[in-house]
Homo-oligomer: A and B are copies of this chain.
């Protein structure tokens, strides 16, 4: 009998998080991987349910993602999009012809009564994705962005308005749910779970919506595995997207330290980029173990390397710090 590979749970948004999840999936003796995916970006568009982060994860793991953009499908065509504008439909959110099949099939599966969790599993199976992708909620939990231009639906802020409005606050729809899904609770409660990783996604737009689901933070604290976050901020800037801009708008200096503090109390360790060595002491003062890594993931090998280092860091923290503390 072989021992099953250890389980790993990743909390993630879209493009940035998908890179690390891909790395984890390609590790030799890959862990049994569960990604808990932000659905705060989800919305109904052209009458279809769109789940941008779930799709980015799914396409990335299926090796179907558009390598130029990091979202959408490779070998895409845009005939539908060219035509829907002619018919008076919105064109600010770009949906390729291949991508469209996902949204239409998902709409069908949901209309047949499947949960989003089950529909995601069905789509993943069809695309040959063996990792488990779990939406953070089965019910819509839209993030709203409170800006200097009013309260905006997430995609209106992010895509239509190109993240240009100044963010004053964020409202997470998941707070209306009563509990995490059974699948998420089962994944977090699994005996032998090796690590829970907070991906280098936008803390405010991608991770906090997940953490806002009532009961999720408690389930993380109760989970047997250490929680490790990977910094999305390197040398004061985000690798991709508006994380640094939003932090400044919220009155927070964009730095790895600030992200570590943001997750304080929830995580057992933090990975900073080697460009931010000077922050290690400050973060350790938060009573948080730190590991220094090259967190920039350009090649697949970069992703696998960071994934491996993240798991090794988590292993070094096991058994979980809070439990160790409790035993002292």
Please indicate the chain B residues that have their CB under 8 angstroms from the CB of A108 in the complex.
Answer: 46-47, 89
Interface membership of A48, Cβ < 8 A: yes
Taking A46-B104, A80-B98 as known contacts, 6 extra A-B pairs with beta carbons closer than 8 A to each other, sorted by chain A number, are A46-B105, A77-B79, A83-B101, A87-B102, A97-B100, A100-B100
Which residues of A, 92-107, contact B by the 8 Å Cβ criterion? 96-98, 100-102, 104-105, 107
Copies of this chain present: 2
Name the residue of chain B whose CB is nearest to the CB of A88. Answer: B126
The secondary-structure label for the interface of chain A is: helix
A-B pairs, top 10 by smallest CB distance, nearest first, are A79-B97, A83-B101, A87-B105, A84-B101, A77-B79, A83-B98, A97-B97, A80-B97, A47-B108, A87-B126
Q: How big is chain A's contact interface, by range?
A: 20 to 34
Please indicate the chain B residues that have their CB under 8 angstroms from the CB of A104 in the complex.
Answer: 46-48, 80, 84, 89
Name the distance in Å between A290's Cβ and chain B's nearest Cβ: 43
Which residues of A, 58-110, contact B by the 8 Å Cβ criterion? 73, 76-77, 79-80, 82-84, 86-89, 96-98, 100-102, 104-105, 107-108
> A105, B79: Cβ atoms under 8 Å?
no
Residue from B47, B86, B98, B122 within 8 A of A79 (CB atoms): B98
